[in-house]
Amino acid sequence: MSIYVTKSFMPPLKEYNKYVAGIFERGMLTNQGPLVEELQTKLAGYLGVENFHYVTNGTIALQLALAALDINEGEVITTPFTYVATTSSILWQRCKPVFVDIEPDNFTIDVNKIESAITPKTRAIMAVHVFGYACDVDKIEQIAKKHNLRVIFDAAHAFGTKYNGRSLLSYGDISTCSFHATKLFHTVEGGACVVRDKSVSDKLDLQKRFGHYYDTHYMLGINAKQSEFHAAMGLANFPYINDIIAARKHICDMYDNLLNGIVKRPKHQDGLEYNYAYYPVVFNSEEELLRVFDALHAIDVYPRRYFWPSLNKLPYVDGGLCPVSEDISSRIACLPLYVGLDDETVKTISETIKMVCKK
């Protein structure tokens, strides 16, 4: 059986079907149905946040965040080391991404380089909690306040992560999350916005449903409403969140023990309660990474190059130079990590990596 980098957690079918039966009985499939409302309430409570909006996916969540903060022109400072959706959302809103290089220990945006990238056209900072590790949220907030900028945190990887006792989704003007099928908590497709200011939250709520309530139209909007079937998957998965995180921690601890001294790992951050979203490893060179991939593919194991290439190298942006991101992106990969990955497979993957790297 092939082992891929991730595998979606699936709740017991009878528990999902219980919610689906209710959907069929009510006949309400979308437009802020009761399951969507229930899931929003439960997730906001679990995370300890307010002004929580469950939307169709993590990319539209970023676009809504920009729109709700009136960022539809100018420059947005961001990171080149993330999934392309972060950059795409900025471009889609007709803004220019300005890439600031990353720091080498946790691969998040280097806060010491942000101010030199600020220009009169800068409107916001969109930073990413890469692999669930926290950006320097306090420093970013200080810089933003000093220069009158908005802060959006792409927290797609940070569901369940806490920093200094608070959910990472509680920081910034708006934080966004992804509930894509590859995430530790998923609703097949889905995302969320957590909004600090209630007036901005109300505006985003309008924008996510075409900009109108019933027949009264207030503003330009888009369809970011989520369906009852997606909410049903979220509600069926919800009781297992802590079990999912615990199972992933067990696998990560095994990798840590077996690969200690073989590969580089992100540095542990003080005050961070981690969610074990991914297991990234950095090799000595791209050539070593590719040799490891060949060896793992030979035994039907398929890690992924998260994130490659560095986004400042995209052919449709003027990204400048980001040497740390370019270097790390050429040497980093995420190893298989999901509920149900057995100990023997983790050992086999680790021994294969050790065999290649020791050569």
pLDDT tens track for 54-91: 999 999 999 999 999 999 999 999 999 999 999 999 99
Q: Is the per-residue pLDDT at 137 higher than 90? A: yes
| pLDDT attached to residue 331 | 98
Q: Where are the domains of the chain?
A: 13-239, 241-358
DSSP sequence for 31-72: SS-HHHHHHHHHHHHHHT-SSEEEES-HHHHHHHHHHHTT--
CA distances from 272 to 160, 165, 255, 269, 291 (A): 11, 8, 20, 6, 33
Euclidean distance between CA atoms 174 and 172, whole angstroms: 5
| pLDDT attached to residue 350 | 98
| pLDDT attached to residue 107 | 98
| pLDDT attached to residue 1 | 87
Euclidean distance between CA atoms 237 and 19, whole angstroms: 12
| pLDDT attached to residue 65 | 98
Quick one: fold of 13-239? Answer: Aspartate Aminotransferase; domain 2 (3.40.640)
Task: Give the chain's mean pLDDT.
Answer: 97
Residue 24 DSSP one-character state:
H
- Tell me the sheet residues that pair with 193: 53, 176
Q: Is the per-residue pLDDT at 37 higher than 80? A: yes
Length of the chain as a residue count: 359
| pLDDT attached to residue 103 | 97
**β strands within the chain, DSSP E:** 3-4, 52-55, 75-78, 96-99, 122-128, 150-154, 162-163, 166-167, 174-178, 191-195, 212-213, 216-217, 272-273, 280-282, 301-302, 332-334
pLDDT band at 313 (very low <50, low <70, confident <90, very high): very high
Burial class (CB in 10 A: 0-12, 13-18, 19+), 211: middle
| pLDDT attached to residue 84 | 98
Express each pLDDT in 72-81 by its tens digit: 999 999 999 9
| pLDDT attached to residue 46 | 98
241-358 carries CATH number 3.30.1360.120: no
List all residues 6 or more positions away from 50 whose beta carbon is below 8 Å from its beta carbon. Answer: 44, 194
Average pLDDT, stretch 177-182? 98
Average pLDDT, stretch 92-117? 97
| pLDDT attached to residue 211 | 95
Q: Is the per-residue pLDDT at 359 higher than 80? A: no
Q: Is the per-residue pLDDT at 358 higher than 80? A: yes
Q: Is the per-residue pLDDT at 96 higher than 90? A: yes
Average pLDDT, stretch 137-156? 98
| pLDDT attached to residue 166 | 96
Euclidean distance between CA atoms 182 and 318, whole angstroms: 30
Euclidean distance between CA atoms 58 and 143, whole angstroms: 26
How is residue 98 written in tokens? 């300005």
Q: Which residue has the tokens 């074990």?
A: 276
Contact 125, 143 (CB under 8 A): yes
| pLDDT attached to residue 178 | 98
